[in-house]
Amino acid sequence: MAEAVAGATGPLAVRGGGTRGLLAEGAVLETGGLSGITLYEPGALTLVAQAGTPVAQIEAALEAEGQMLAFEPMDHRGVLGSVGEPTIGGVVAANVSGPRRVAPSGACRDCLLGVRFVDGLGQVIKNGGRVMKNVTGYDLVKLQAGAYGTLGVLTEVSLRVAPKPEASVTLVLEGLSLGDAVAAMSRGLTSPYQVTGAAHFGERTLLRIEGFEGSVRYRAGQLSAMFDGARIEEDAAGLWAQVRDVSGFAGHDAVWRISTVPGRALEMVQGLDVDVMLDWGGGLIWVAARGDVAGLHGTLQQRAARLGGHATLVKTPDPALPRFQPEPAPVARLTQGIRAKFDPRGILNLGIMG
């Protein structure tokens, strides 16, 4: 891999499974050759894998030990209509974090303990490691999570994994408006009952509770008592997969992912002719639309800038639209500076993050 990057004479497009619809300009550099779990210690809750390892292979290995990736990475294939096998490198490069983000340390970046990557000059660089606590030097691990390969080609990642909960139930509230749903989710998330998922789609608002059997029963009871007409759904895995994968928006032309303060969710989408799904208690808004969306794209990014947060175009009918929210000038200067350091020739994944 290092040689391939060092020897490159033009732009490189890093490709893991190719399922996230983000192939850059240039010669395709596949990570598939770097595959396999290099270390898995269930007793230490750590797993190290090469970047091209299929997510499915990692999940199967974890499943065999009753463990999981706590950050529930989204599978983009449904909503994007893409094919291929998602890789762990792709998950990390895009910091793909699912519904459990509302729980402590629930993002992909929070579970990422270490990385090895090849920078734009072909040098192999390591940062972090495989232990839970590590403040040795600057945290380039965080910098790589969500850099979409613009700061280097990931070759190996080390992850904190989690035990699978013994039990999981979901409280379902029917027929709430968007505003009432945010308020209900906020009540759930500010209760002492450790909600590990808070989403709203269609007519349903979902609050998930996980843990040991007895504890889950107790908390589900307490939480239901806080709401009128709450129903307890015993097996909601399918619903949560829909939330995670945003599969309900497979038929739309454009899908945005907006990160904001939950209390601003309503303002973010008010008056727009769009379909909306909320995750993270309203802190993550999925917006979907059909047809020509250029105007809508501008509106959403303006609102995000004004209300606090950012809007990213995940599925686009028009490749010319900039996917990522423009950053304020001083932040953009830092970002450009970092990119120029890690990729001085300006060849890695051009055009994805602008």
Work out whether 123 is an interface residue with another protein (CB under 8 A).
yes
Interface with another protein (CB under 8 A), residue from 16, 342, 347, 352: 342
Q: 10 Å Cβ neighbour count for 75?
A: 23
107 binds another protein (CB under 8 A): yes
Q: Which of 10, 163, 202, 229 binds another protein (CB under 8 A)?
A: 163
Spatial contact of 115 and 158, defined as CB atoms under 8 Å apart = yes
Distance, CA of 98 to chain centre: 6
Among 77, 100, 109, 208, binds another protein (CB under 8 A): 109
In the complex with another protein, the residue whose CB is nearer, 13 or 112, is: 112
Measured CA angle at 77 (ends 76, 80), to 5 deg: 80
Beta-carbon contacts of 108 under 8 Å, excluding residues fewer than 6 positions away, are 71, 73, 91, 92, 95, 96, 97, 145, 146
350, 26 in Cβ contact below 8 A?
Answer: yes
Residues 281-340 that bind another protein (CB under 8 A): 283-284, 308-310, 312, 324-325, 327-328, 330-331, 334-335, 337-339
Which tokens go with 329?
């000038």
The footprint of another protein on this chain (CB under 8 A) covers a number of residues equal to 87
Instruction: Verify binding: residue 27, another protein, rule CB under 8 A.
Output: no
**With CB under 8 A as the contact rule, which of the stretches 26-34, 157-165, 233-241, 291-299 interacts with another protein?**
157-165
> Which residue in 17, 52, 73, 165 binds another protein (CB under 8 A)?
165
What part of residues 202-231 is at the interface with another protein (CB under 8 A)? Answer: 211-215, 218-219, 222
Least distance from C-beta 251 to another protein, angstroms?
27
Closer to another protein at the Cβ: 4 or 143? 143
Taking the CA atoms of residue 322, residue 327, residue 328 and residue 330 in that order, the dihedral angle to the nearest 10 degrees is -130
Q: Which of 7, 43, 238, 319 binds another protein (CB under 8 A)?
A: 43
Pick one of 50, 53, 150, 224: the residue that binds another protein (CB under 8 A). Answer: 150
89 binds another protein (CB under 8 A): no
Q: Is residue 280 a contact residue for another protein (CB under 8 A)?
A: yes
CB atoms within 10 A of CB 203: 11
CB of 197 closer than 8 Å to CB of 206: yes
Q: Is 196 in the site for another protein (CB under 8 A)?
A: no
Residue 97 binds to another protein (criterion: CB under 8 A): yes
Strand blocks (E) in the chain: 12-15, 27-30, 37-41, 46-50, 67-68, 112-118, 124-128, 153-160, 162-163, 167-174, 195-201, 204-211, 231-233, 254-260, 275-279, 284-289, 309-315
Distance between CA atoms of residues 211 and 317, nearest Å = 41
CA atoms of 198 and 181, how far apart (whole Å):
10
Q: Is residue 186 close enough to count as binding another protein by CB under 8 A?
A: yes
Judged by CB under 8 A, does residue 266 bind another protein?
no
Considering only 18-26, 77-85, 130-138, 233-241, which stretch makes contact with another protein by CB under 8 A?
Answer: 130-138
Nearer to another protein, 249 or 280 (CB): 280
How far apart are alpha carbons 271 and 264 in whole angstroms?
14
Q: Which of 140, 230, 277, 296 binds another protein (CB under 8 A)?
A: 140
Name the segment binding another protein (CB under 8 A); options: 19-27, 82-90, 103-111, 168-176: 103-111
User: DSSP of 71-120, one letter per residue?
Assistant: T-----HHHHT--S--BHHHHHHTT---GGGGTTT-SHHHHEEEEEEE-T
Asked whether position 252 contacts another protein by CB under 8 A, the answer is no
* 125 binding another protein? (CB under 8 A): yes
